[in-house]
Chains A and B, each alone.
Chain A
Amino acid sequence: MDFGLNEEQKLVQATVRQMAQEQVRPKAAATDKNHAIPPETLPQLAELGLWGSYIPEEDGGSGLDYLSYILSVEALSAACASTGVLLAAHASLGCDPIHRSGTKEQKAKWLAPLCKGEKIGCFLLTEPGAGSDVASLKTRYLEQDDHYELTGSKQFITNGGYLGTGVVFATSDPSLGHKGISAFILDLKSPGVTLLKNEEKMGIRGSFTSAFALDQVKIPKDQLLGAPHQGFAIAMETLDGGRISISAQALGIAQEALDLALNYSTERQQFGKPIGQFQAIRFKLADMAAALESARLMTYKAAWLKNQHQESAQVSAMAKLLASKAAQFCTDEALQIHGGYGYSAEYPLERLYRDAKITEIYEGTSEIQRIVIAKGLEKG
């Protein structure tokens, strides 16, 4: 057993951290305030090769090992959680299913531009009536001679507003439940795709969360991803990986909160001494560090498993459950340690607190993670 990072992983971590601290963090407050990631951030991620993440070089990617990718999302999220999920959703939800289930031709046509950041990736599963229960989705597809025709709607799509490349899920017959679902590669600029709105949200405000109407969208036959009716399996496998990236986002937020709290507790003086000398504060810091570190170990283990193609739905679910809880807990305690200043928008704590919450909701709520974990127990 080896808990250390190798040289490449350390170097990736240090590099992304440095870039994120120098170029992303200074803009995090404005990103939140303006509900938009500054446009210049996208080419900066491209320059570093972040968009290509763990996709192998022969498919146009950056060839990172999976843990290095997870370290990148963590470092980016510590600087700005909106920017963190921009990468996480692009790579884990947009690129991953095409990489895993795409043909050689599909990879050349769709994956390579995604890896360069020429297109931003997204994943269109959720619908107004189908959230946790994705098998109940209602978007229909009809098979025509040379294309499929999709009609329905999609809700809460991260990165949707970039109108790049998505993986969209639809059913041939809702009565078939999860067995009727197929996955398709979708160019979001196709006729019939209408961006209805970008959601106003509590946190990760810089990240697009978009609603779409799909009206007889023509998708060429060669954009079917995997086999017909394999969509549900593709979605679930994708989310097993995606959850690790959301865990990494949560770790980044939690680490930032802990760092800020630690710093503040040595600077802020009350009753004649730094508040960090009060045991009540020290215990908070200790609990935060312990929660964060255990979530980190779980997340890195999930990443390590995925790297050797032994991904486990249960381990990913445990990682996300723990990491999102750690993010929620650490931002709450860090805000408390900052007192009134934590509540003030002058300080970053209230933003981190708002950003943390989403990690307990998307890519499966914490309740759903527990369902996945419990199911694994039954298998024995």
Chain B
Amino acid sequence: MKILVCIKQVADLESRFQVASGQTWFNETDLAFRLNEYDEFAVEAAVQLKEQTGGDLTVISVGPARASEALKKALAMGADQAVHVLEDQQLESFQTAQVIFEQIKAQGYDLIFTGMQSSDKGSGQVGLLLGEMLKINSVSCVVAFKYDGRIEVERELEGGLRAKLKLATPALVTCQLGLNQPRYPTLPNIMKAKKKPKSEVTSPAPASRLQVVALGPPPKAGAAELIEGDLLAQVSKVVAILKEHKLA
């Protein structure tokens, strides 16, 4: 079985994001980066599948030099080799999917795992676009995964419902949080990951179909005021406020 996981390195969500005026991406200096949380579930699912069926597990990431840390983590968790497509620009989903597609189209992967979305951009499109480009079955938002010749997955729906689906390989699965329990890479495996094959390639991205116009925090909403005291005090306060705003 040939397995692929697509991962992204993202800024830690606990970072304090600052966007310089006129910029369309936040300033990355001094930020901590990590493997996208959704992708951790994708890597775990892929490693478990590899442990079950044997085979070969490749991890791929499109991103700047620092993304090599995320690839290292996936290798330490159990991937066999890594492909790093060096890219310093912020790509849109279609571009990223296209770049990955160009790298892997001739590889014939039986199963491709991606995170459901990246926690920094959250478009949730890369996996599904890639599935379309490869013309293979895709299923998104997966919270349970089984393989026995065919794939059986559960998808999380609104309203607390779960849909159970079966599909044939080759297929692409995008992984929701909670799909499994991503393992900690063990310390010996972290050290061994150094020795696993890792290739760096460049691949020109196609033109973007979207233009990011602006990025920033939403405008501050008006503050709510909590009115306390006994009933009479509360009513008088409300009346006073209404009068102040000439609403009564």
Contact of A48 among B186, B192, B193 (CB under 8 A): B186
A190 proximal to B (CB < 8 A): no
Complex CA–CA separation, A7 to B68 (angstroms) = 8
Known: A11-B73, A11-B76, A14-B34. Is A64-B187 also a contact (CB below 8 A)? yes
Instruction: Check A12 against B184 for contact (C-beta < 8 Å).
Output: no
Q: Give Cα A282 to B136, complex, Å.
A: 58
Knowing A11-B76, A14-B34 touch, does A47 contact B186 (C-beta < 8 A)? yes
* Any B CB within 8 A of the CB of A28: no
What's the count of A-B pairs with C-beta under 8 Å?
53
Q: A7-B69, A8-B72, A11-B72 are in contact. Are A50 and B187 (CB under 8 A)?
A: yes
Let me know if A15 and B69 touch, CB within 8 A. no
Tell me which residues across on chain A come within 8 A of B68, comparing CB atoms.
7
For B184, the chain A residues whose CB sits under 8 A away are 15, 18-19, 47-48
A72 to B190, CA, bound (A): 13
With known contacts A8-B194, A14-B34, A62–B72 Cβ distance under 8 A: no
In the complex, what's the smallest C-beta–C-beta distance from B28 to chain A, in angstroms?
A: 15
Q: Residue of A at shortest CB range from B68?
A: A7
Q: B34 — nearest CB in chain A belongs to which residue?
A: A14
Interface residue B219 (Cβ < 8 Å from any Cβ of A):
no
Within 8 A of B (CB), among A35-66: 47-50, 52-53, 57, 62-64
Inter-chain contact A11/B186, CB cutoff 8 Å: no
Interface size on A, residues (CB 8 A): 22
Check A189 for interface membership: any CB of B closer than 8 A. no
Interface of B is mostly: helix
Chain A residues contacting B72 (CB-CB under 8 Å) are: 7-8, 11
Q: Does B188 contact A (CB under 8 A)?
A: yes
- Establish whether residues B188 and A49, one from each chain, have CB atoms under 8 Å apart when the complex forms: yes
Q: Are A64's CB and B191's CB within 8 A?
A: yes
Q: Which of B185, B187, B191, B192 has the most CB of A within 10 A?
A: B187
Q: Is the CB of B188 within 8 A of A11?
A: no
Inside 8 A of A64's CB, which chain B residues have their CB? 187, 191
Chain A residues, CB < 8 A from B190? 8, 11-12, 15
Chain B hits for A50, CB < 8 A: 187
Do the beta carbons of B191 and A63 come within 8 Å of each other? yes
- Find residues 30-78 in chain B having any chain A CB closer than 8 Å to their own CB: 34, 68-69, 72-73, 76
Residues of B140-188 whose CB lies within 8 A of A: 184-188
A60 → chain B closest CB, angstroms: 10
- Chain B residues with CB under 8 A of A47: 184, 186
Give the residues in chain B near A7, CB-CB below 8 Å: 68-69, 72
Known: A8-B194, A14-B34. A62 touches B69 (CB 8 A): no
Which residues on the B side are within 8 Å of A375 (C-beta)? none
A10, A16, A47 interface centre (most CB from chain B within 10 Å): A10
Q: Write out, one digit per residue, whether chain A residues 1-25 have a CB within 8 A of any chain B CB (1) or not (0).
A: 0000001101110111011000000
- A50 to B34 Cα, complex, angstroms: 22
Q: A11 and B194: CB pair below 8 A?
A: no
Which of A10, A18, A53, A72 is within 8 Å of B69, CB to CB? A10
- Taking the nearest CB of chain A, how far is it from the CB of B65, in angstroms? 11
Q: What chain B residues lie within 8 Å of A53 (beta carbons)?
A: 187
Distance between Cα atoms of A10 and B194 in the complex (Å): 13
Q: How far is the CA of A26 from the CA of B193 in the complex (A)?
A: 30
Kindly list chain A residues whose C-beta atoms are within 8 Å of the C-beta of B192: 63
Q: Are A63 and B185 in contact (CB under 8 A)?
A: no
- Chain B window 183-205, contacts with chain A (Cβ cutoff 8 Å), 1 for yes, 0 for no: 01111111111100000000000
C-alpha spacing A8/B186, complex, angstroms:
12
Contact with B along A330-372 (1 / 0, CB 8 A): 0000000000000000000000000000000000000000000
B47 CB to closest chain A CB (Å) equals 15
Q: 15 pairs across A/B with beta carbons < 8 Å?
A: A8-B72, A8-B190, A11-B190, A12-B187, A14-B34, A15-B185, A15-B187, A18-B184, A48-B184, A53-B187, A62-B187, A63-B187, A63-B188, A68-B187, A72-B187
Task: Known A-B contacts: A18-B184, A72-B187. Give 14 more (CB < 8 A).
Answer: A7-B72, A8-B191, A11-B72, A11-B193, A12-B190, A15-B184, A47-B184, A48-B186, A49-B188, A57-B188, A62-B187, A63-B187, A63-B191, A63-B192
User: Taking beta carbons and an 8 Å cutoff, which residues of B are in contact with A?
Assistant: 34, 68-69, 72-73, 76, 184-194
Give A contacts to B, CB under 8 Å: 7-8, 10-12, 14-16, 18-19, 47-50, 52-53, 57, 62-64, 68, 72
What 3 A-B pairs have minimum CB-CB distances, sorted nearest first?
A49-B187, A62-B187, A49-B186
